[in-house]
Amino acid sequence: MFEQIERVPGDAILGLIEAFNKDSNPQKVDLGVGVYRDAHGNTPVMRAVKEAESLLLKNETTKSYIGSHGDPRYGQAILSMVLGADSPVLAAKRASATQSPGGTGALRLAADFIKTHLPGKGIWLSDPTWPNHLGIFHAAGVEMHKYPYVDAENRLDFDGMLATLKQIPQGDVVLLHACCHNPSGFDLSKEQWQQVLEVVRERGLLPLVDFAYQGFGDGLEEDAYGVRLMAENLDEVLITSSCSKNFGLYRERTGCLIAVAKNAEQMENVRSQFAIVARENYSNPPAHGSAIVVEILDSAELAANWREELTEMRDRINGLRRDFVDALKPYGLDQQFAHIAEQRGMFSYTGLTPEQVDRLRDEYAIYMVRSGRANVAGLASENLPYVAKAIAAVVK
Ligand code: LMR
């Protein structure tokens, strides 16, 4: 039977890891997959995580199952981090947390829930969006549609976005990126979030807010503006959260699906369905990452250390954005790429074409996603002049 199986190309983002590792060019630069890198190109285990892990190793007493919703202490910690410790939504017991295998797992839970419990409802994704959004909702069998997000001049197309949102059928789901839009790096201002809220409310849409980069844009609280606005002003919201980036727990698969409902009873009903979806997909989520997060957030000292390191990471990325534009100045390209300093998070839609990206890879061993998305965290003072020179060569 297997003779009928066709080979398919690898994932457009994860495939870059292998291609980069195989490249023997000593000058190679990895601007591909979205992982944080320090000035030496490493993705370190965060200091507080290391400490929490050694405490866990000493104190852990069991490897027994943690249940389909995961560790309740983790759920509470994530609810506070995402919605705010003094959130009126939490006070009203309108929100629930279901631990998931990473942000991707949370998205898949949401997708399966939508398919089963909101039959006939489609999902609207920004154009462009993280390519795996397409994979996840396709796999779950949810009908997908697009709303404009970036225009042909590589700018945020907010008017186009709003105009399309105003036409979405009532009750459909709209996927919003809370901050650090992946892949573009263009985020909504507070006023724009307010306008989105109004349209979502008028049309009775269900927002699914993907919050994979909390703390990587302007700060843990600042980045939560849009999520909290939606949760506090709407009866129903879904939120997917991830500790992959802000705790650096990528391979520990540590995420969460949050449901905000009209009241505590409806929240419990929805929550009970999430447990079924989780059980049917993977039963229980992995526990190591969530135990680390609980250990850190339960300790004032570890939490302060973690926040400090997260701030260092964010500042480094935002500094690199400015340095990148400066490095392009000698080539007269600083205006063309000025948007890079304005964008937020790890990613930048550079505006480079797939052909230019191919040339960067083949001629300079610089790797980025073919859409022109660059992981700014892969830059460093040592490779910036090289990258700027290569970009100048391919755009001229
Ligand atoms: C990315 O977009 O590079 C990250 O979110 C990693 C992934 O899973 O694609």
CATH number at residue 365: 3.90.1150.10
Residue 323: CB partners within 8 Å, gap ≥ 6? 379, 381, 384
Q: What is the pLDDT along the chain (396 residues), one digit of tens a residue?
A: 999 999 998 898 999 999 999 999 999 999 999 999 999 999 999 999 999 999 999 999 999 999 999 999 999 999 999 999 999 999 999 999 999 999 999 999 999 999 999 999 999 999 999 999 999 999 999 999 999 999 999 999 999 999 999 999 999 999 999 999 999 999 999 999 999 999 999 999 999 999 999 999 999 999 999 999 999 999 999 999 999 999 999 999 999 999 999 999 999 999 999 999 999 999 999 999 999 999 999 999 999 999 999 999 999 999 999 999 999 999 999 999 999 999 999 999 999 999 999 999 999 999 999 999 999 999 999 999 999 999 999 998
Residue 211 DSSP SS3: strand
CB 295 within 8 A of CB 288: no
Q: Is the CB of 102 under 6 A from ligand 1?
A: no
Two tokens, residue 114: 């939508």
Residue 265: CB partners within 8 Å, gap ≥ 6? none
pLDDT at res. 396: 86
Atom of ligand 1 nearest to the CA of 11: 9
* 246 & 337 share domain: no
Q: Facing residues of 237 across strands?
A: 260
* 158 & 36 share domain: no
pLDDT at res. 9: 86
Q: Is the CB of 346 under 6 A from ligand 1?
A: no
Q: Are strands 144-148 and 206-211 parallel, antiparallel or unpaired?
A: unpaired
Q: Facing residues of 97 across strands?
A: 258
Q: pTM for the full model? A: 0.97
> How many domains are there within the chain?
2
Q: Is the CB of 33 under 6 A from ligand 1?
A: yes
Q: Is the CB of 130 under 6 A from ligand 1?
A: yes
Q: How far is Cα 229 from Cα 260, in angstroms, rounded to an integer?
A: 12
Domain with 208, as residue range(s), is: 65-297
* 285 & 206 share domain: yes
Q: Report CA(128)–ligand 1 centroid distance (Å).
A: 14
Two tokens, residue 304: 């302060």
Q: Is the CB of 255 under 6 A from ligand 1?
A: no
* 292 & 372 share domain: no
Q: How far is Cα 360 from Cα 172, in angstroms, rounded to an integer?
A: 40
* 352 & 256 share domain: no
Report the CATH number at residue 224.
3.40.640.10
pLDDT at res. 1: 95
Q: How far is Cα 127 from Cα 177, in angstroms, rounded to an integer?
A: 12
Residue 114: inside a domain: yes
Q: How far is Cα 130 from Cα 182, in angstroms, rounded to an integer?
A: 5
Counting ligand 1 atoms within 8 A of each CB, the residue from 107, 132, 252 with the most, and so the one to mutate, is 132
* 82 & 231 share domain: yes
Nearest-CA residue for atom 5 of ligand 1:
34
Q: What is the ipTM of this complex?
A: 0.95
pLDDT at res. 10: 85
* 344 & 378 share domain: yes
* 332 & 281 share domain: no
> What is the separation, in whole angstroms, between the first and last Cα of the chain?
51
Please give the C-alpha separations between residue 168 and each of 99, 181, 202, 203, in angstroms, as whole numbers. 30, 21, 11, 7
Residue 99: inside a domain: yes
